[in-house]
Each structure stands twice: as structure tokens, then as C-alpha cells.
Amino acid sequence: MSFYDTYWTYRAYEEFETMFGRKPFSWVVGTSTLDEEELHDQYRTLFRSEYDRVVTHFGQGRLNPATLACLIAEIERAIASQHGVALPASSERHMNNRFFQLVTTGT
């Protein structure tokens, strides 16, 4: 396994938890109907295609953790939708977060 950008990827997952109040793809755990290997392949495919569409913010040399967290959220939503799975609701402290409302409802 390559260690290149491992720290920033780890930070993105931490940022996801901060923003959404749960671990990414936590809904997969304990779901016997979904093939974990297939989900991993879908994630990698979507990540590669979506990564090219993400913009590096002015003045930063790489994608910041919040941007990567949003990328992970978009990929998670796409995969859940493909499998007919409703994403779990976030904890109460995140429900009032305007960003969370925008991402999950589009309003």
C-alpha cells in the first residue's frame, strides 16, 4: 500500500465525521445483501471519475480535507442510490448544520 497522501485521506475521513456526524459507509457494516468487494470496486471507479471534477481552492496546493469529505459524501450517496439504500440520518447536533441540509436535501 502506498503511503502517499495517506495523512490527507485520513483527515478527509475525520472531516466527514465532523461534517456529517457518522463514519462514511457505516451503513454497509452488517448488510449481508451487499457484496463488499463490489462496493469497493464501485467506490474506486467513482472516486477516479469524480476526482477529476473537483477543484483545488485558490492558494492551496492540494484538495483540503473538507473538499475530499464532500467528494466521499457524493460517492457514498451515488453508491447507496444504486443499491436502493437510504443513507442514515446524522446525529442531532448535525441536523441544524446548514451545510448538511444543503447536501442531503438540496435546499
- Residue 95: pLDDT above 60? no
pLDDT of residue 39: 85
Task: Give the integer Cα–Cα distance in Å for 66 and 2.
Answer: 22
Asked if 69 and 12 count as a contact pair (C-beta separation under 8 A), the reply is yes
In this prediction the pTM is 0.74
Helix axes 65-82, 6-20, angle to 10 degrees: 70
Residues 6+ apart with CB under 8 A from 72: 12, 13, 16, 24
* pLDDT per position as a tens digit, 38-63: 888 999 999 999 888 888 877 777 88
Q: What percent of the chain has pLDDT over 70?
A: 76
Residue 63, SS3? coil
